[in-house]
Structure 1
Amino acid sequence: MHWILMLPLLLPACSASYNDPSWLDKEEGLVAQQYAQLGLAKVLLRCPVPEGVSAVEWRVNHTAGPIWKASVREDGSLALWNVSLAQEAEYSCHDPTTGRLLHRVYLKLGYPPETPSIRCFSTSYGSPINCTWKQETETHLNTSFLSTYRHGMDGEVHECVQPSTGADSCSIADVQLFSIVPYVLNVTAVNPLGTRSSLFLFLMNQIIQPDPPEDLKVSAIPRASRKLRLAWKPPSSWLFPEYFPLKYVIRYSIRDGTNSSKTTRPTEQTSFVLTGIRPGATYHVQVAAKDCLDNGKYSAWSSPASGTAWMPE
């Protein structure tokens, strides 16, 4: 059984985010970067109004004129209503008398992260644990991920190694094969609008999933018009097959437009004779593998192979 624990989303209780703005060099002067959540009823863009200036003029992408779904407040700030991606732009406030630039801000819109949905698996006992995660909703913002793990809820925290900074996957190299204490993976999604974390608990035997079997061959059997011989090899990534044997299931079908297929019962052998074959028909076959003790999941199906039973001349 897998458990997923959700941690609460931490967001400021205001209409937009002003914490730690970054500053971007643009054509002239500096542009403040401001982030806000899509769909908010109101987002405020501030303008530092100097003494002697009684009103301000706001422009979008250097263009003067009415601003869609917006109004200027008495303090000079610009209020945007029911924000959508169409309102993501550079805004600037000016002295309406002289046109002097007072402030520039680029509004970037999106969503805070969701709780990551995590999957962990290993292709063999003794191989590293590979974990991946995703979020169902596009945030429209650069979202990075931090990943750590520990052995047991109170164990020492270690880095789950990611292939690059902020990647959506990581690997754990040193795992106790037969531990009854679960490992705990902690993945935190971070973007300018907040953070969201998820804990994923697993035991090694729960997440075993071999790679597909390899080198599948289908051949006719002389003088047997209703049989086909199948042979394949265990996945080369499966370590120690003498200690951890695999079992296999076979899926086979005739490409006759019905797309119907049959599946055999599991076998521990790496060869099999299909019986009841339709003479002269071409069969398409695939094989999947699973730990013989029924731990974890079946592999994906192997690459297909095809064959036709022996036909008398």
Structure 2
Amino acid sequence: MEIWESWWDEQAGDRARCALQHGTLGTEVLLWCPAAGGGPAEWRRGDTVLGTYPAPGLALPNTTLAHEGHYSCHHPGTSETWATICLRLGYAPAPPAVECWAISYPQAVNCSWVLDPEPLLDTDFVATYRHGVGGPTDTGECVLTGPRSCSFGNVRMFSLTPHVVNVTAMNPLGTASRILPFLLENIIKPDPPENLRVSRIPGETKKLLLEWSPPGSWPFPEYFPLKYRIRYVQEEESSVTKMIGPYEQTSYTLTGARPGTLHHFQVAAFMDSGESSAWSLPASGMPWMEP
């Protein structure tokens, strides 16, 4: 598939105006010289003469990225320039692989997506959402928060009717969409806990105090309290990971710690619905040692 549009060739020293042509990698791309009038034309790539080719134009079989560049066609006798073409190669977008998480439940839903394979061409996205049949108050734009992410509010708690997100990818070679339905409570996934601290307790050679904060993106911890799991390893047994919890408080006193040994900790947050967060950044500590 080939797409044409007018474009200023920024790489050409004289900023020549050229026809921007897009083609699909791995296929044959035909560069067409409109002024040739059905006759032969001399083709060049940059300043290199490729030869004189009959109509309809210059065929590039099994294209690779090495074929990208600035081409021109000329009168085979006078070398008059008939057209300049800037060739860009890539792929039409595949349907985006979309995932959505309520990291700030119940205020908003955050979605992100990837394309496989990468189109290698500038690709734009439109993302929308709806709830149920999508009345005027339940339909809207998922506002882009990054090149391939968006966020929307106006969610319905405890609804048995799915929310639906539709992401459409568009580039010069094509358009593709993906629809993702979900129940809000099934996609709860907090961000990791923050500010994990490990402190020794004076006089306690086998105890450590852990303290942390709920994720800053979790808007109402007092109304929607999180639960926490803790995992840790001891420096001398780094291949053995121990897991404890769940706990509802944001602190925990570890007993039975090995005296004189460094311990490494991480904490994850979750609710009874949805999925657990990723693990927090690690923090380390060693129990109190007698002077």
Normalising by structure 2, report the TM-score: 0.88
Distance 2:156 2:163 in 1: 9
Task: Report the equivalent of 2:274.
Answer: 296
TM superposition shift of 1:190: 0.5
Q: How far apart are 1:102 and its partner, in Å?
A: 1.6
Q: Which moved more, 1:192-201 or 1:299-308?
A: 299-308
Q: 1:205 to 1:63 in 2, by over 3 A?
A: same
- For the pair 1:35 / 2:22, whether they are aligned, the reply is yes
- In the alignment, is residue 55 of structure 1 matched against residue 46 of structure 2? no
CA distance in 2, matches of 1:92, 1:139: 25
Q: Is the CA contact (8 Å cut-off) linking 1:143 and 1:190 kept in structure 2?
A: yes
Following the alignment from structure 1 to structure 2, what is the Cα–Cα distance between the partners of residues 123 and 48? 55
Q: Per the alignment, do residues 312 and 81 of structure 1 end up closer, same or farther by CA in structure 2, a change over 3 Å counting?
A: same
Who is 2:141 aligned against? 159
Displacement of 1:122 after TM fit? 2.2
Q: What's the offset of the Cα at 1:223?
A: 4.1
In structure 2, how many angstroms separate the alpha carbons of the residues matched to 1:130 and 1:243?
A: 21
**Distance apart, 1:163 and its partner CA:** 3.6
Once residues 49 and 116 of structure 2 are traced to their aligned partners in structure 1, the CA distance between those partners, rounded to angstroms, is 38
8 Å CA contact retained: 1:62, 1:91: no
State the 1:268 CA deviation: 1.6
Which amino acid counterpart does residue 144 of structure 2 have in structure 1?
A: Q
Tell whether the 8 Å contact from 1:160 to 1:171 is kept in structure 2 after alignment: yes
- Separation (CA, whole Å) in 2 of partners of 1:197 and 1:184: 13
> How far did residue 257 of structure 1 move?
7.4
Aligned counterpart, 2:163:
183
TM-score (norm 1): 0.83
Q: 2:72 aligns with which of 75, 92, 100?
A: 92
Residue identity opposite 1:312 in structure 2? E
Return the offset for 1:141: 0.6
> Residue 211 of structure 2 contacts residue 250 of structure 2 at CA under 8 Å; is this kept in 1?
yes
Describe the shift of the 1:105–1:235 C-alpha distance in structure 2 as closer, same or farther (beyond 3 A).
Answer: closer
Segment of structure 1 superposing worse, 26-35 or 197-206: 26-35
Contact 2:2 2:29 in 1 (8 A): no
Aligned residue type for 2:49: A
Task: Give identity over the alignment, percent.
Answer: 46
2:7 is matched by which residue type in structure 1? L
Q: 1:222 to 1:89 in 2, by over 3 A?
A: closer
SS at match of 1:306: strand
The Cα of 1:288 is off from its aligned counterpart by: 1.1
The gaps in structure 2 that reach 5 residues or longer are none
Give matches, 1:1-313, under 5 Å: 16-18=1-3, 21-26=4-9, 27=14, 30-40=17-27, 42-49=28-35, 55-66=40-51, 72-73=53-54, 75-156=55-136, 157-163=139-145, 167-256=147-236, 258-291=238-271, 294-313=272-291
Residues in 1 aligned to 2:152 and 2:276: alpha-carbon distance in whole angstroms: 21
Residue pair 2:7, 2:19 contacting (<8 A) in 1 also: yes
Q: Tell me the amino acid that sits aligned with residue 245 of structure 2.
A: R
Q: Distance in 2 between matches of 1:180 and 1:47?
A: 59
Question: Could you tell me how far apart the structure 2 residues matched to 1:28 and 1:287 are?
Answer: 57
Counterparts of 1:23 and 1:95, CA distance in 2: 21
Instruction: Report the CA distance shift for 1:217/1:84 in structure 2 as closer, same or farther (over 3 A).
Output: closer
* C-alpha distance after superposition, 1:252-304 (max 9, x if no partner): 1123473432111311222222222111101111211111xx21122222232
Q: Going by fraction, where is strand more abundant, 1 or 2?
A: 2
Bigger drift between 303-312 and 131-140 goes to: 303-312
The answer to whether the 8 Å contact 2:142/2:150 transfers is yes
Deviations 1:216-239 (A, max 9, x none): 332333443222222223234323
Alpha-carbon distance between aligned partners in 2 of 1:181 and 1:266, rounded to the nearest angstrom: 31
Q: Which residue of 2 aligns with 1:4?
A: none
Q: Is the partner of 2:66 in helix, strand or coil?
A: helix
| Secondary structure of the structure 1 residue equivalent to 2:104 | coil
Could you tell me how far 1:142 is from its partner in structure 2?
Answer: 0.5
